[in-house]
Amino acid sequence: MKYEGINGEYFEVIDITNKNCYILKAARPSELSLLWFQSDNNQIKIDALAHSFNTHDIVCLTEFNKIEVVEVKKLRLLRFNRAFFCIADHDSKVGCKGILYYGAANLPILYPTEKDIDILGTVWKMLCIEMESKDSLQFEMLQMMLKRILILCTRVYRNQINFQVLENGNVDIIRDFNFLVEKHFRDKHNVAEYADLLNKAPKTLSNLFKKIGEKTPLQFIQDRLMLESRRLLRYTDKDISQIGYELGFNDVQSFSRFFKKQEGASPLEFRNLK
């Protein structure tokens, strides 16, 4: 089921099985996706890393995630573009920027409770009913359904990663940090540079991440660099030196040392594992 607007907006809901799982690899510009698995033992590689998803697991993806389907049995796919709903412009309405989407190297995998599943199931049924409507209010109604789903998923993930120990203002600092890393990881590799953008001390950021038991801010930056390194090595034919320069390293030796320290293999060894 698909909604398409006159200004390039689109929003669609698709039941995915092994027969049409190729759809998962067809990401378009500015597209965001949500996958809600309806069976156990789904095997998918995302950005060259293997993942296994079971019934009611949820994962949120952007256009930049690279998908390799190994085995898919049954899932629900929801996807939309920026013209339909821009989470950056409307973050105050859903609060998912830097958590569900554009959260640096974090792949947000959600594990909803039974109560969460009941609520999501009800909203999903309402969404599917609204997809059949063809009147002047459909766009607003579909946006409303999407916002409810994003809010519910944001709540699930916030509880999952222990955000409740932080005050709301501090949660926003972490979200903003994640989003800034996503924007600037190629040219800003130090925590101090992001602390300056946030008008915070580096120690403040470190303390906030420590409270929720997360990786350090520096690990977030390095993980984002590694994510992009793997993507470029696995899915492009660019020279290793060119990849290093694109990611802000002064020379190929610096990039190779960084990559091997994080991955345990050199960039060339990783590329040859194809």
Q: What is the pLDDT of residues 18-76, one digit of tens each?
A: 999 888 887 788 899 999 999 999 999 998 889 999 999 999 998 888 899 999 999 99
Task: For residue 172, give the CATH number of its domain.
Answer: 1.10.10.60
Host domain of residue 182: 168-271
The rounded distance, in Å, linking the Cα atoms of 271 and 274 is 6
Same domain for 104 and 208? no
Q: Which of 129, 160, 191 marks a domain boundary?
A: 160
Task: For residue 153, give the CATH number of its domain.
Answer: 2.60.120.280
The rounded distance, in Å, linking the Cα atoms of 131 and 13 is 8
Which tokens hold the place of 164?
A: 């409740």
Same domain for 172 and 156? no
Same domain for 216 and 156? no
- The predicted-structure confidence for 239-252, as pLDDT tens digits, reads as follows 999 999 999 999 89
Same domain for 155 and 57? yes
Q: Which residue has the tokens 């590689």?
A: 45
> How many contiguous H segments (helices) and E segments (strands) does the chain have?
10, 9
One-letter amino acid for residue 126 of the chain: M
* Whole-prediction pTM: 0.86
Same domain for 153 and 184? no
Question: What's the confidence (pLDDT) of residue 28?
Answer: 81
Report the 10 Å Cβ neighbour count for 14. Answer: 14
- As a whole number, mean pLDDT of residues 107-129 equals 93
Share of the chain above pLDDT 90, in %: 53
Same domain for 152 and 172? no
Same domain for 18 and 94? yes
Same domain for 172 and 154? no
Q: Which helix (H) or strand (E) segment is 31 a member of?
A: strand 31-37
Q: Which of 160, 191, 218 marks a domain boundary?
A: 160
Same domain for 76 and 118? yes
Same domain for 244 and 149? no
Report the 10 Å Cβ neighbour count for 6. Answer: 6
Same domain for 118 and 179? no
Domain count, the chain: 2
Q: Which of 127, 144, 160 marks a domain boundary?
A: 160
Same domain for 186 and 90? no
- Single out the residue of 193, 168, 163, 170 nearest to residue 181, CA to CA: 193
Sorting pLDDT into bands at 50, 70 and 90, what band is 214?
Answer: low
